A and B are shown apart, each in its own frame.
Chain A
């Protein structure tokens, strides 16, 4: 194995995705086009962009929940599909997707149950994960007895249960109020520091992306492309005070400006073309 293989967890080369419309009227949508991205072990990557830029689609392509139309996706030196079958992914969605018929503990056990681990091992591991997300006292509760933030922490515990190589998060805090969201960001960073896992994180909040990430990937819409990658050179350990640093605001401005630029780029060529036709 070469260095690049050991260091790189995710390697996307020339990835594109076209959703073929079904039926005659449905339009063919070019969701992603020419995506190249490599993610190193232990990185925290945020995908940000206007709605419809394909950031969730990209996340699902990495996780082999949808296939590519063109290009390759390698995860830990394997094809995405092989990586999924080897249970290298942990997924967290915008909704917690906890099952009401299971206790919090048994929800966290779910991935271990799928691979047929013995009961004792499942329970021990689930307890460990619940302690990590500070839900140890709520193991016996049912999901509907928890607040939204707590439910999402249980979902994170479940995603980490198999110690995955990569954690895929699709706007996990998008449904939470601002205060809970900021607290959850700190929690997530603490968990990330302790587990040293690689994270790909979809969000539409610029401050959230800057606060959490080692790199912010800015995308544009129709077709979804990567327009800029902003390295976040804030100190690796971040806390409440990071949010008051001048450089934090500079980075937010930089991401915001690249987003604005990306929208322009995405729209301008077509507008020019349209104007050219009508003239």
Chain B
């Protein structure tokens, strides 16, 4: 009897594969920077239109302490917003998945909230939660995160193999057991997909909130201020930091996902 055993790659092979996985994107990125630098110099673009990457890197090194302080300040808002928005989204998703009546009455409301342009909403939230507070920015981030997390959680909880439900029914499992043993594990891939989207949305949300008023320490204000002074390489350096936050949070979610559902088909060797 043959076993279709999952191949367990030896550590050497695994390391080589990981390296290959990292080298290609890294190479493309470096190539992109080089082409950018050459183009800027060759075309003689003024730095307020597009600074060369080398100038941005220079600003990055020179202003590292203040950029770092701004990044950590904004990071708190992003993470808080991510937690608030995702928790609310998971909770509402679970409630609407459980009760059809709730789904029908709440979904239009959620769609409406999601349709409000965040640009219009951010000043309002600044009004409500304080112009200088980190909470108001966290709330902008939370509003952006909420909808995709809610929709995907509900979808995942409802997207269950009918045969699995029959199996649990024939074993006379309780509603709570069906939820815990089948619905939650089936929903996890959906929830994590939503959380990955939410990390970037939270980053965008917090920075947009800061545009409409925040202490000068924040990344949003940092970008605006130096753009106004035509000190674009400092703005760009801050943008690079903001991107790093987004990427870092995304990778964190991926890491947690692997930890929570190592069984998922996307993590099996040779299939990913």
Contacts and interface: CB of A to CB of B under 8 A. Distances in A.
Interface of A: 60, 63-65, 84-87, 89-91, 93, 95, 97, 99-101, 110-111, 113-115, 138, 141-142, 144-147, 149-150, 162, 168
A142 B185 CA distance: 15
A82 to B, nearest CB: 10
Contacts of B163: 93, 95, 97
Contacts of A146: 3-4
Given A144-B6, A146-B3, A147-B1, A97 B171 contact: no
Closest 10 pairs between A and B when the two form their complex, measured CB to CB? A91-B170, A101-B185, A97-B163, A101-B263, A114-B173, A111-B171, A100-B263, A114-B171, A85-B172, A93-B163
Nearest to A158: B167
Interface of B: 1-6, 161, 163-164, 166-173, 177, 181-182, 185, 261, 263-265, 268
B170 A65 contact: yes
A99 B164 contact: yes
Given A144-B6, A144-B268, A146-B3, A99 B170 contact: no
A183 B177 CA distance: 35
Given A138-B3, A145-B4, A84 B167 contact: no
A145 B5 CA distance: 5
Given A63-B170, A114-B173, A144-B265, A97 B1 contact: no
A271 to B, nearest CB: 35
B126 to A, nearest CB: 43
Most chain A beta carbons < 10 A, residue from B172, B173, B177, B181? B172
22 contacts: A60-B166, A65-B166, A65-B170, A84-B169, A85-B172, A87-B171, A87-B172, A90-B170, A91-B167, A95-B163, A97-B161, A97-B167, A114-B171, A114-B173, A114-B177, A141-B5, A142-B6, A144-B265, A145-B3, A147-B1, A147-B3, A147-B4
A243 to B, nearest CB: 20
Given A97-B163, A101-B185, A114 B4 contact: no
B170 A150 contact: no
Contacts of B185: 99, 101
A147 B2 contact: yes
Given A114-B173, A142-B263, 13 more contacts: A60-B166, A86-B172, A90-B170, A93-B166, A95-B163, A99-B185, A114-B181, A142-B6, A144-B265, A146-B4, A147-B1, A147-B3, A147-B4
